[in-house]
Amino acid sequence: MSRRRKERKQSGVALNLAAMLDMAFQLLAFFIFTFKPSPVEGQISLRLPPPQAVKAKATESVKAGSNENNPKEAGVETLVISVSATSGGRIQSLALGEGTVANVPQLERQLQTVLADADLKFEQVLIQVSPRLQYFELMSVIDACTKQKLPSGQKLSKLSFVELPEGDGG
Amino acid sequence: MSAPTGHGADPDLTPMLDMVFQLVTFFMLVINFKSASLDQTLKLPVAGSARPVDSGGKDKLLILNITTGGKLSLYGRSIDVESYIEGEAQVSRLTAKREGKSIEPGGDLPEIVVVRADKTTPFSMVNKVITSCQKVGYRNFAMRAMNKEEGQ
């Protein structure tokens, strides 16, 4: 018995690694060809309240012409931004409340001033948008809004959208 | 010059095999099957305040790829917006019921709707999708965007 054991130990097993290497190379080739690193995407988190009927008091500061599913929350002070579009879907004009704003950076500065004012107590922003406006232009307006902080120190995340009737401002 | 002797060379393949297995392991770890649900043909808009969010898989997501024509794109297929969203909402309610949390019809659904719309999509198309989601009870939305222009 002991002699047999000794014999086994002495005769080394020669593994043929070539087959395993072939398989490993095939796996490697598969992963290399299917590897496609996707770009890192960011996101803007929003809480969009459900559509509600227009309340008489809430429409005071809203420009005429908004449609029926105005999602303004009762009892919450709402700041209205209106964005009209050119026929190509670019921003034609911007308005904050009743005042006209030249461009998005100016809108951002005005929002900063208005939302920082503790007396005004705005908590949500309603964006009235022309249906033709391209998504990237809308995102530039959303971006300007979500950068703002409320007097409480919280970031502004309560946004809602209303589609302006076709042909309004465009 | 002496002619080749005919003795076969017997290289030690072990280090090469080690290296190949290490490479295979690397690619296995970095492969991301979740990205298959993202339509990479869409050109996302750029927003400076968009931040990458990694919830560690805790949040349930409903990813909606919206093409320029306002269609939903799912794994390369174009699908109807309303029926898909209604179906997903129904699945969400059934899942909640199985977990012991009953959600009334029209009640708030826990999923975050991830909106991935092409940057040239008209607002009316995006709004149609958002409104459909709101109707069935989705409240939390995440608008996907890039931090900077591609290639910068």
A134 vs B122: CB contact, 8 Å cut-off? yes
User: From A155, which residue of chain B is nearest by alpha-carbon distance?
Assistant: B49
- Four-point Cα dihedral A165, A158, A138, A100, nearest 10: 70
- Rg value, chain A, Cα: 31
User: Could you give the 3-state DSSP secondary structure of residue B23?
Assistant: helix
Residue with tokens 């996101």: A43
* Rounded Cα distance, B139 and B143, in Å: 13
Joined tokens for residue B87:
């179906």
Strands A99-101 and A124-129 turn out to be unpaired
What is the separation, in whole angstroms, between the first and last Cα of chain A? 98
A153 vs A168: which has the higher pLDDT: A153
> B19 at the A interface (CB within 8 A)?
no
pLDDT mean over B21-45: 83
Whether residue A122 is predicted with pLDDT greater than 70 in this model: the reply is yes
Give how far B52 is from chain A: nearest CA, Å: 4
B120 vs A46: CB contact, 8 Å cut-off? no
Nearest residue, CB atoms, A41 vs list B44, B119, B139: B44
Question: pLDDT digit string (tens) for A67-91?
Answer: 444 444 455 678 889 999 998 889 9
A21 vs B27: CB contact, 8 Å cut-off? no
Which pLDDT does position A157 carry in this prediction? 78
Whether residue A36 is predicted with pLDDT greater than 80 in this model: the reply is no
Which pLDDT does position A13 carry in this prediction? 80
Residue type, A118: A
* Rounded Cα distance, A97 and A100, in Å: 8
Tell me if A119 sits within 8 A of A85, measured CB to CB: no
Joined tokens for residue A84:
């009209």
Which of B:31-60 have CB within 8 Å of A? Answer: 31-32, 35, 38, 40, 44-53
What is the ipTM, given to two decimal places? 0.74
Give how far B129 is from chain A: nearest CA, Å: 12
Which pLDDT does position B80 carry in this prediction? 87
Give how far A32 is from chain B: nearest CA, Å: 7
Nearest residue, CB atoms, A135 vs list B21, B112, B120: B120
Give how far A138 is from chain B: nearest CA, Å: 8
Which of B:103-132 have CB within 8 Å of A? Answer: 112, 114, 116-124, 126-127, 130-131
Helix (H) or strand (E) holding A83: strand A78-85
Give A142's contacts in chain B (Cβ within 8 Å). Answer: 47, 143
Give B62's contacts in chain A (Cβ within 8 Å). Answer: none
> A158 at the B interface (CB within 8 A)?
no
Whether residue A49 is predicted with pLDDT greater than 80 in this model: the reply is no
**Share in percent of chain B as helix, strand, coil (round to 5):** 35, 20, 45
* Rounded Cα distance, B20 and A28, in Å: 7
Burial A89-114 (b: 16+ CB within 10 A, else e): bebbbbbbeeeebeebeebbebbeee
Strands A78-85 and A124-129 turn out to be parallel
Question: pLDDT digit string (tens) for B87-108?
Answer: 999 999 898 888 888 777 778 8
Which pLDDT does position A50 carry in this prediction? 67
Nearest residue, CB atoms, B24 vs list A28, A36, A85: A28
